[in-house]
Amino acid sequence: MIRFGLCCIFKEEPIRFGRATAGFLLKFSPAERRERLSKICLANAQSLFRALAFCRQNGIGCFRINSQILPLKTHPDLGYEVSDLPDAKTIMDTFKACGRFGRDHDIRTTFHPDQFIVLSSPHADVVARSVADLEYQAEVAGWVNADAINIHAGGVYGDKASALMRLRETVEMLSDPVRKRLTLENDDKSYSPRDLLPVCEDMQIPLTYDVHHHRCLKDGLTLEQATAQAAATWNREPLFHLSSPEKGWESGAPRHHHDYIDIRDLPKL
DNA sequence: AGCGGTCAAGTTGAT
DNA sequence: ATCAACTTGACCGCT
């Protein structure tokens, strides 16, 4: 039995996730900043609960949580600890209620840190900021009981083997909350399933197989082989990504994602 | 209320 | 050299 999931944002349902901008917040006193951030964080925790309730009501088994659920959490000037926010207890309690709801109704949650999270970068500061962001998402993942923090392998920098070696070294140093949830996903430009499978198998990192990306960046593996080999890297229910090209496979840019999925793109197997 | 410029961050490939 | 793309529009000053 396959469960299907939703991704981050609602268009029709009145469920919204707020954000904040650094330039605006910096105009206020530190206390005022914490007050504003606290309100957004609390509203987002409550929105997440309603998102999960929507999933339950509509037979949806998985929900991807957006990376700015706690806005500016690791920003160099405005970063904060949830425990320092005025609504800290309510925020954490609400997230934990999301976790119980997900457990009670078997709704899986996942994270997908954005493109700035790059563990293969040769720049130490980029890696350090990336790790900080992973730590923040793992903290929330602990509250909401999310079992996957899924990232891409990042850049190649002209030498894929060296880049993957840097990634492996960084993974070795991750904290346990991040490490036990970390998964790698094949992308559409640089890293195919064949590139990532050896890393995933060696280090026991599950591979999130994205069939759309694989169709854009082929590697000699068939869809069936990649699916089976990716599934074998999971010590729990595997996670897959599926999407459709915005203007069809015959267009010049099949990489662009459509808002909806063409059922013909769902692999028969 | 609505419009438009802007928003923390990395890397790649198309133009 | 610029820019869109990536998992996803939302925020905020101005009129």
Q: Give the whole-angstrom CA distance, residue A137 versus residue A133.
A: 6
Indicate yes or no: strand B within 7 A of the C-beta of A189.
Answer: yes
- For residue A255, pLDDT over 80 is answered with no
Which protein residue lies nearest to nucleotide B9, measured between its Cα and the C1' atom? A116
Instruction: Give the pLDDT confidence of A103-138 residue by residue, as tens digits.
Output: 999 999 999 998 899 999 999 999 999 999 999 999
Q: From the CA of A147 to the C1' of C15: give the distance in Å.
A: 47
Kindly state the percentage of chain A with pLDDT values over 90. 79
Q: Give the whole-angstrom CA distance, residue A78 versus residue A121.
A: 24
Mean pLDDT of A64-93: 94
Residue A15: burial class (beta carbons within 10 Å; 0-12, 13-18, 19+): middle
- Which nt is closest to the CA of A122, judged by C1'? B10
Do residues A47 and A39 touch, judged by C-beta distance below 8 A?
no
Q: From the CA of A18 to the C1' of C10: give the distance in Å.
A: 7
Which protein residue lies nearest to nucleotide B13, measured between its Cα and the C1' atom? A189
pLDDT of residue A254: 63
CA A20 to chain centre: 20
> Does A253 or A101 have the greater pLDDT score?
A101
3-state SS record for A127-185 = HHHHHHHHHHHHHHHHHHCCCEEEEECCCCCCCHHHHHHHHHHHHHCCCHHHHCCEEEE
pLDDT of residue A74: 94
Q: From the CA of A179 to the C1' of B6: give the distance in Å.
A: 35
Q: CB < 7 Å to strand B — which of 98-117 in chain A?
A: 114-117
Per-chain mean pLDDT for chain A:
92
| Cβ partners under 8 Å of residue A160, min gap 6 | A190, A191, A195
pLDDT of residue A247: 67
Mean pLDDT of A46-63: 95
Instruction: Give the pLDDT confidence of A209-225 residue by residue, as tens digits.
Output: 999 999 989 999 999 99
3-state secondary structure of A106: coil
Do residues A85 and A37 touch, judged by C-beta distance below 8 A?
yes
Q: Give the whole-angstrom CA distance, residue A136 versus residue A32.
A: 22
Q: Give the whole-angstrom CA distance, residue A198 versus residue A137.
A: 26
Instruction: Give the pLDDT confidence of A140-193 residue by residue, as tens digits.
Output: 999 999 999 999 999 999 999 999 999 999 999 999 999 999 999 999 899 999
Q: From the CA of A134 to the C1' of C1: give the distance in Å.
A: 33
